[in-house]
């Protein structure tokens, strides 16, 4: 498997799990039936639609943050130290 595929899977799964935890924490406190827009108009969506949209939004935000962290933490191929001693093989 390529390095990019492994990084994509790491970001997708970790952000999926984090979004699930974040949604559980948020909706343990917030009732989706009582949500209002900024102009105080009620949100005309079902509770399941609010849960789904918020999960996808949380997942996208966490995946963006994880992708940025992974991008900043990895080194380009040419900057990586060699895996063997400098004089190997002789």
Residue 88 forms part of a structural domain = no
Mean pLDDT over 9-20 rounds to 95
Exposed, middle or buried by CB within 10 Å (0-12, 13-18, 19+), for 5?
exposed
Structural domain range at position 69: 3-21+31-73
Q: How many domains does the chain have?
A: 1
pTM (predicted TM-score)? 0.76
Residue 12 forms part of a structural domain = yes
Closest CA to 42 of 50, 28, 52: 50
Residue 83 forms part of a structural domain = no
pLDDT tens digit sequence for 29-45: 999 888 888 878 888 89
Residue 44 forms part of a structural domain = yes
pLDDT tens digit sequence for 66-78: 999 988 888 776 5
Would you say residue 90 has pLDDT above 60? no
What's residue 72's pLDDT? 87
Query: What is the longest distance spanned by two Cα atoms in the chain?
Result: 75
What's residue 80's pLDDT? 61
């Amino acid at each position: 498997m390529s390095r990019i595929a492994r990084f994509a899977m790491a970001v997708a799964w970790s952000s999926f799990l984090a979004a699930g935890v974040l949604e559980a924490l948020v909706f343990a406190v917030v009732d989706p039936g009582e949500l209002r827009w900024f102009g105080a108009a009620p949100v005309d969506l079902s509770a399941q639609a609010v849960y789904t949209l918020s999960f996808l939004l949380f997942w996208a935000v966490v995946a963006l943050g994880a992708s940025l962290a992974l991008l900043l933490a990895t080194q380009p191929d040419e900057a990586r130290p060699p895996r063997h001693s400098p004089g190997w093989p002789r």
